[in-house]
């Protein structure tokens, strides 16, 4: 791809790599590329995928070489601050394995109330980015919470193939002056909160992102082999957290998914082993972008306090906290939740977090896998 077709817009960036030479604390930039690649399931099966990769810091003339067969499952994390001006450039690359496909891609920030349709990523109301082209999305970052993002072109196909990722926004309350009184809770510099709660009730010390997705191997194989895609018969027999099924979820390695098919580049970089040290307050940002399944998860022996759903604090119109404690959490596709675990009330040990739908606890035909991970409290 000629350098001129990769066009990054980022204030303060003079060489087109999305890294400002003149930084502004109120501005953030990122450059991602859409392409294809391969991912390895927990039973060893290699699946053809579509995905995004992070090319921030890569000179324009090297983006094609860097991102070819570089699809990541899940997509690179997007983390932003409330009120920040965020510039996200998407470059769509040709499909290495399917050069016959001319599919464009978009970025849809799921749940964001966009001020203008052009940056929404829904191609009927905005625009899509054809192979060999770039578009920079601009966001005036909204209120805090756990969002998610995905390609919205032929959404069922592209999401099933892997074009989805974690995204969250941190609140302004994190940056209050040291000693600020929050209705009886004293803010200290460095404190972290899920929302601008005004009372410190969403304070946490450690966080983990857990995104539920699923793959239908028949659909992925049909896409690779240029066969009719079985939309009506889609069934996800590989249910995963952050692109991995158990026991790969607890593997701390960030280089999983490397195979000869994708030039030994890692495609599944995000482990899902949750760790905390008593008495830390642990935040789980849980989202579901499965195109087929509605999932209910549980953590036997641990009580979860849900403080937010779908990037909104659970609070009444009169300001009353509506947080609730539960042993199970149900999320459909496109939903998210913020869950706080007070580890001071939990005995040290290893706990399992898994789906209550037992047929999702497998890696296709292999038992004892799928939508499960471990929480280690020390």
Give 140-173 pLDDT, tens digit per residue. 998 999 999 999 999 999 999 999 999 999 999 9
Q: Residue 125: which pLDDT band, with cuts at 50, 70 and 90?
A: confident
Residue 3 pLDDT exceeds 70: no
Residue 114 pLDDT exceeds 80: no
Residue 30 pLDDT exceeds 60: yes
Q: What are the CA-CA distances from residue 248 to residues 43, 110, 136, 274, 327 (Å)?
A: 9, 27, 34, 13, 24
Q: Locate the domains of the chain by residue range.
A: 3-170+205-377
CATH architecture assignment, domain 3-170+205-377: Sandwich (2.60)
Q: What are the CA-CA distances from residue 69 to residues 48, 72, 315, 355 (Å)?
A: 10, 9, 44, 31
- What does the pLDDT look like over 230-266, one tens digit per residue? 999 999 999 999 999 999 999 999 999 999 999 999 9
Which range (21-25, 171-175, 197-201) has the least confidence? 21-25
Burial letters 308-340, b for 16+ CB under 10 A, else e: bbbbebbbeeeeeeebeeeeebebebbbbbbbb
Residue 4 pLDDT exceeds 70: no
């Amino acid at each position: 791809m000629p350098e001129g077709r990769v066009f990054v817009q980022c204030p303060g960036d003079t060489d087109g790599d999305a890294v400002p030479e003149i930084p502004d604390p109120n501005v953030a930039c990122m450059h991602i590329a859409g392409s294809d690649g391969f991912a390895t399931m927990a039973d060893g099966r290699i699946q053809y995928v579509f995905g995004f990769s992070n090319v921030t810091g890569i000179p324009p003339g090297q983006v094609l070489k860097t991102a070819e067969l570089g699809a990541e499952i899940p997509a690179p994390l997007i983390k932003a601050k409330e009120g920040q001006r965020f510039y996200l450039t998407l470059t769509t690359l040709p499909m290495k394995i399917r050069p016959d496909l001319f599919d464009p891609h978009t970025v849809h920030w799921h749940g964001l109330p966009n001020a203008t349709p052009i940056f929404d990523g829904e191609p009927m109301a905005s625009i899509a980015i054809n192979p060999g082209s770039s578009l920079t999305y601009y966001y005036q970052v909204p209120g805090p919470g756990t969002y998610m993002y995905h390609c919205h072109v032929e959404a069922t196909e592209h999401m099933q193939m892997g074009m989805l990722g974690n995204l969250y926004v941190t609140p302004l309350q994190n940056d209050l002056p040291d000693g600020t009184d929050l209705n009886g809770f004293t803010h200290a510099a460095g404190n972290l909160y899920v929302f601008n709660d005004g009372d410190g009730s969403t304070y946490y010390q450690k966080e983990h992102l857990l995104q539920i997705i699923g793959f239908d191997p028949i659909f992925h194989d049909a896409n690779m082999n240029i066969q009719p895609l079985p939309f009506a018969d889609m069934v996800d027999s590989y249910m995963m957290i952050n692109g991995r099924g158990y026991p790969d979820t607890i593997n701390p390695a960030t280089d999983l998914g490397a195979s000869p098919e994708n030039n030994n580049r890692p495609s599944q970089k995000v482990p899902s082993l949750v760790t905390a040290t008593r008495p830390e307050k642990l935040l789980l940002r849980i989202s579901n972008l499965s195109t087929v399944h509605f999932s209910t998860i549980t953590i036997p022996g641990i009580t979860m306090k849900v403080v937010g759903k779908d990037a909104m604090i659970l609070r009444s119109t009169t300001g009353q906290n509506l947080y609730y404690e539960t042993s199970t959490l149900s999320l459909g596709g496109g939903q998210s939740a913020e869950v706080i675990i007070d580890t001071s009330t939990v005995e040290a040990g290893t706990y399992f977090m898994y789906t209550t739908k037992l047929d999702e606890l497998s890696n296709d035909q292999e038992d004892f896998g799928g939508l499960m991970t471990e929480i280690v409290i020390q």
